[in-house]
Structure 1
């Protein structure tokens, strides 16, 4: 047994190197035989290396949002997208891309819980999604998971939340000019968009953004996750 076992970092690097070497057919049997021996340094602190890696992943995924509260929204009826956010007394800007990328008709949505989360540091939409899901991945994979776990919502549900905030109930929506974000389904049935609502003076600005947008959003922004209780 090696008297000076490798550190967790060195073991992680060693594992990556061994995996890479296994791709070389000529070395496969040699590498497999070597790593399978109990005295191989890879096993000296294997469990510690795994725990180190898990801790790093969890820290990365969970560090950008702080859960504030849980809000229940009753069942919401279907509604044509073109009819959402059209009250000029309440909304001073409605992004035309809502009609371009989202379904023509917003689906019915059963009673749901929403969790407003405060960003603890600047973050992209992708990082926000990874926080809710507890995993990392590409945009396509994250979109599928967001939809599958019921984290996307509809425009009428967002309207209902704004209505309650305007009626004096503090549901967590920022009303000081900073953004509130929601994941919504796209027309293609597979991808998702992000809808931003922010109030300036007494009226709201509503915009659609691509989920893959690389821009980092300020830590004062909030994200509303549907059916999310934390990781």
Structure 2
């Protein structure tokens, strides 16, 4: 099926899916935490637009609430909180040196191809748009994991964790036409609590050892007095 044969809604969903995947790649290649947080905010805004579009086309009023929660939490509140954490801890001046950035981006490309390969059997049972959205959702999840693996700063790990949740949420909204409202509210509350707890832990860790570098945290050992 050619893209011109798809409805305007399906074309818009594919465009938003491509932009969400692009933000995951951009996060993978960022060395500054503030830019990383900004791109994560853009991804959250794109996700909220996708949810609002699905709510309008599918006539699902509860998805409007989900879109508003997504915009408020992932597009505004959590990015602002992470930005303040980065600035207050003095991490905005640091530039994290990526080890083998070309290999990291190649690995990200490989994960994208792998996602499409895994999702190919779906095309026999579902339309082409479902294949693309599920494949991109899986790719966003895998790219979030890769971001957590390749970064040393704990803040980047939080962004990777939230990006994984974004990929799962995108698949739920587009492929299954949204989740029950109770489930969506529960997930939103869990994400909010997790973000607040991460912030509290970061302040305590920073005040204790003056670093959020994961490599240094792994080398910590108790010193007998």
TM-score by length of 1: 0.24
If you compute each CA radius of gyration, which structure gives the higher value, 1 or 2? Answer: 1
TM-score after normalising by structure 2: 0.25
Greater fraction of residues in strand: 1
